[in-house]
Amino acid sequence: MRKSYTLAMAALFSVSASWAQTKTDKAEVQWGPDMDFKTDGQFNFVMDDAGEAVFVSMSRKKELLIQRMDGLKVTYQKPMELEMDKEDLTNEGVIFTKDNVITFTSLFDKKAGIKQLYASTYDQAGFGQLKHFEKIASISAEKAKNSGNFNIYHSPDRSKIAVSLSAPIDKDKEAKEGFEIRVYNADMEQLWSQQIVLPYEDDLFGYESLRIDDDGSLVILGTKYAEKREGKALRREGKPSYEYHLLTFKQNDPVPEDHAIVVADKFLQDLQLGVGKEGDIICAGFFGNKGSFSTRGTFFLRLDRNTKAIVHESYKEFSDDFITEYMTEKEAKKATKKADKKKEDLELYSFDMHDLIQREDGGVVLVAEQFRTYTICTTDSKGNTSCTTHFIYNDVIVVNVDPDGNIEWASKVPKRQHTTNSQLYSGCAVEVKGDKIYVLFNDSGENLFLKPGDKIKQFELTGKDALVVLATVNSDGTTEREALFSPERRDVILRPQDCVELSNEKMFIYASRKKDYRFGLIDFK
């Protein structure tokens, strides 16, 4: 018994010593004061950042608060106005322009049969009120539960704001009803409005994203599916039965410019858009060879801003070794055998694009994460049904694109995260500084010295070996893993999806510890 105890203590000391030795020197963490939920409020999420200032959403009791932080100092914490003439308002979103904060709220008026949208404008510096409950738009509606929707967007340069108005659902009406769009400048002066009708039937067009461009035009990215018979023929030939389309709507032109993003015989996945430093459109994502739910490689495209034509394209197919990297020998053999049996290439389960980050030199970094979710419901003998939602966040793939638009390399950062009914502590945060890419996530300490072929231990939120890992991806694609914190702060857990890369190249982080929490800033070296 004594011998076993001694060995256990020796092993524990060895692991602790290893963590101490691998505490990173690549990042310095500056912490703000300890805060508690009762006094300081409940942190919700980071809303935006402007230079040195970070704006976060907080709540206390029934109040929804906007908090400005300069560095780690709370400059102000102001409640959102969610009541007008003793009527409760619904929060529809907050937009940060260059100088101001604009809050959007709505109220359903049953007597008038409308849902009204209001905008209130405040200055960012001290949250002084500039405009109060300015009427912006309204939707005709009969019932509060089916009163339509408002959605708010802003352009990349924050000079334009778009409000979309979707009417209540009417099952008796035919498809292609569309929605209304209203475009404003940063002072909420309307520039143009238009009824938007998509050129395809609802069952043939999958809406992916909407953005308002700096020039005030509306850009919709969607997936156009082939007609039923044509789709079957394409699938029999092993070809994609869908195409990505860019629809651009401009002022006084109800017919959109329609541009298909077509590459030969590849199943494009999770296409993301950005605006390049030269004003061109950049697109990136993954592709599969056999379908839209498995990944064989990555792609990068540049599109002419005006014509939307592809002017440069680059593809990188993942090797079998890359796909099976960090699988155990047994897992790799099983995957290979399964692919051989179907006479297909090895492919990864689909990834979600996490970030499309532009480097100062004109290059681009793509970061994607393997993600899936599912829900299991059970019913007991008394007829009571309970459901559990599972969130799985696994490996991260980092892709480096050089300034010419060519994919140089892809690197994999292995991890296993499986949580139920909450995904707050899963996922990763990413920072690009110089020629290095930093990836932060919660992990098991047993994975700190992980090698290809080793079994990866799953992160457990309540596990005693949980720690925050900093994975550094170097300029050649090689990866190093270290502990972000020293052993005495191992009980600190990050919410990676609420860690935000700031414009000053620091990362704003939120971390919980026992019954309190802290905000912090990471300076990467």
Q: What is the DSSP string of 390-430?
A: EEEEEEEEEEEE-TTS-EEEEEEE---EEEES--TT-S-EE
CB neighbours of 36 closer than 8 A, spacing ≥ 6?
A: 515, 516, 517
Q: By C-alpha distance, which of 161, 102, 95 is closest to 129?
A: 102
SS3 14: helix
Alpha-carbon span 26 to 38, nearest angstrom: 35
Residue 248 CB neighbours (<10 A): 16
Element containing residue 267 per DSSP (H, E): strand 267-275
CA distance 46 to 519: 11
The 3-state DSSP class for residue 372 equals: strand
Half-sphere exposure of 399 (CA within 13 A, CB side): 27
pLDDT of residue 112: 92
Between CA 423 and CA 429, with CA 425 as vertex, the angle to 5 degrees is 105
Three-state secondary-structure class, residue 15: helix
CB-count burial class (<10 Å; 0-12, 13-18, 19+) for 236: exposed
Consecutive 10-residue averages of pLDDT for the chain (525 residues) = 38 44 84 91 91 90 94 95 94 95 96 95 96 95 92 94 91 69 96 91 86 91 85 72 90 89 83 80 87 82 88 93 87 84 80 88 92 94 94 95 94 94 93 94 91 88 84 94 77 87 89 84 93
Distance CA 183, CA 251 (A): 9
pLDDT of amino acid 115: 96
> What's the confidence (pLDDT) of residue 62?
87
Q: So what's the pLDDT on residue 442? A: 94
Strands 364-379 and 351-358: antiparallel
First and final C-alpha spacing in the chain = 47
- Say how many residues make up the chain: 525
Q: Give the Cα separation of 169 and 305 in Å (integer).
A: 35
Q: What is the pLDDT of residue 312?
A: 93
Dist. CA 483–CA 138, nearest whole Å: 52
3-state secondary structure 111-148: CCCEEEEEEEEEECCCCCEEEEEEEEEEEECCECCECC
Percent helix, strand, coil in the chain, to 5, is 10, 55, 35
A 10 A CB-CB count for 400 gives 22
Residues 88, 93, 99: CA angle, nearest 5 degrees: 120
Provide the token pair at 131. Answer: 């405009």
Owner of token pair 């994502």: 285
Query: Which pLDDT does position 291 carry in this prediction?
Result: 64
pTM confidence score: 0.87
